[in-house]
């Protein structure tokens, strides 16, 4: 990869710019350039695609995405220390890297989309799940993104792809199952990062479903939050604040069932009966 893009090895970049990963920012830098290429390839062909990346850090994944031919990368980075390293990548790929300094939770991503757009990111672990939920619940659907290829802690990845009767199934599994086709692509061991996290990470690839079951996102959030908030209890108990047995009767769902046994379709039915 270093030979492929003619830029210096990431370890040298990190040393030269004095970049140590900050725990407060949820940073773990990925230094293995073969791995960053594997992540970028998981997103599919990138020609004529705008890629949005969150938390590029020293730019290992950014370099892989650009080397694989993306039309443009828009990278959101809140750590000002990383900006000079990213500027060097921008100089190497003139006009193809736009860096937005700021907090990703406050960014209007739809405004950054330009033609076919994909999201590829090694997400900072402290905001990753919230960003995913925001991208799943935009104002309109189909969304501004064609696909999302995201790195999470493995535990979160399992929750994203989980379905009914799976121990990892919860609100996240319902939201992802409702609006996307999600799959686990591959695991990344702790030693691939600097500093190594305590857990294995995993790359998840999500593509939007063109016609999800018609349902209000706000109602679905309300129902899943109540149901999984007391996941070991029967639904007649956990859904009491939302109407309990009367709500379940309208949705034709047995009040003695528990949240983890309901399919995405059944959760949508509940939401539509609220």
Binding residues: 28, 30, 55, 77, 103, 122
Task: Give CA–CA dist 118/53, Å, rounded.
Answer: 9
- Known binding-site residues for S-adenosyl-L-methionine equal 28, 30, 55, 77, 103, 122
The full DSSP string for the chain is -HHHH-PPPHHHHHHHTT----GGGT--EE--HHHHHHHHHHT---BT-EEEEE--TTSHHHHHHHHTTBSEEEEEE--GGGHHHHHHHHHHSTTSEEEEES-GGG--HHHH--SSEEEEEE--TTTHHHHHHHHHS-SSSS-S-SEEEEEEEHHHHHHHH--TT-TT-SHHHHHHHHHEEEEEEEEE-GGGEESPPSS-EEEEEEEE-SSPPP--HHHHHHHHHHHHHTTTSBHHHHTGGGTHHHHHHHTT--TT-BGGG--HHHHHHHHHH-
- Give the distance between the most distant pair of CA atoms in the chain: 66
Q: Which residues contact 159 (CB under 8 A, 6 or more apart)?
A: 168, 169, 170, 172, 173
């Amino acid at each position: 990869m270093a030979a492929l893009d003619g830029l210096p090895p990431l370890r040298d970049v990190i040393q030269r710019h004095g970049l140590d990963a900050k725990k407060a920012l949820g940073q773990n830098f990925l230094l293995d350039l073969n791995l960053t290429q594997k992540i970028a390839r998981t997103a599919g062909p990138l020609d004529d695609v705008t890629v949005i990346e969150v938390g590029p850090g020293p730019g290992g994944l950014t370099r892989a995405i650009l080397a694989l031919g993306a039309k443009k990368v828009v990278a959101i980075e809140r750590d000002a220390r990383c900006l000079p390293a990213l500027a060097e990548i921008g100089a190497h790929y003139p006009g193809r890297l736009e860096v937005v300094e700021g907090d990703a939770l406050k960014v209007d991503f739809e405004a950054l989309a330009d033609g076919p757009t994909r999201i590829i990111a090694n997400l900072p672990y402290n905001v990753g799940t919230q960003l995913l939920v925001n991208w799943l619940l935009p104002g309109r659907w189909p969304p501004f993104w064609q696909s999302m290829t995201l790195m999470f802690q493995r535990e979160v990845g399992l929750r994203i792809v989980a379905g009914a009767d799976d121990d990892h199934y919860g609100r996240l599994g319902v939201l992802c199952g409702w609006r996307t086709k999600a799959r686990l692509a591959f695991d990344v061991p702790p030693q691939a990062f600097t500093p190594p996290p305590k857990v294995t990470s995993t790359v998840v690839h999500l593509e939007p479903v063109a016609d999800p079951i018609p349902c209000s996102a706000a109602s679905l959030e309300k129902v899943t939050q109540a149901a999984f908030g007391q996941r070991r209890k029967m639904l007649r108990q956990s859904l009491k604040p939302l109407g309990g047995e009367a709500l379940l009767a309208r949705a034709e769902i047995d009040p003695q069932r528990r949240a983890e046994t309901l399919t995405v379709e059944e959760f949508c039915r509940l939401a539509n009966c609220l």
